[in-house]
Amino acid sequence: MWYSLLDLKILAPGEILAHVAVTDDSLWFSGHFPDNPILPGIAQLNMVADIIALSRQERLYIKRLNRVKFKKVVRPGEQLEIHTAATGTTGLYSFRLTHEEQDVCSGMITLDDQQPRQNANDQHY
């Protein structure tokens, strides 16, 4: 795993609080950016999906993202707090990542247990 899960708590049904540390040697930092490493937004979103999947003990995939805002750069070695809460809609969660009580990223994420299908017209690189 490219980050360390420090703890994971189920606060209430559908509500999760986790603490993670972004490891210095994560491949996400390789080339992103030379001499100024930052954690890409997609990696932050992947952590949110991982934490929810882990709490539910099932494999989940990102289906949709809404109102996502990135507010602070994440550097190697930083510890993040991830708070998620299920909404009334199946698979839809609100989330918030913070570092030292400052918002890093927030939004809505929809997860599904079915891997997204690719169209025959999708380009592959």
Give the active site residues: 32
Residue with tokens 């609080």, as numbered in its chain:
17
Integer Cα distance of 46 and 119 in angstroms: 22
> What φ, ψ does residue 117 adopt, rounded to 5°?
-85, 145
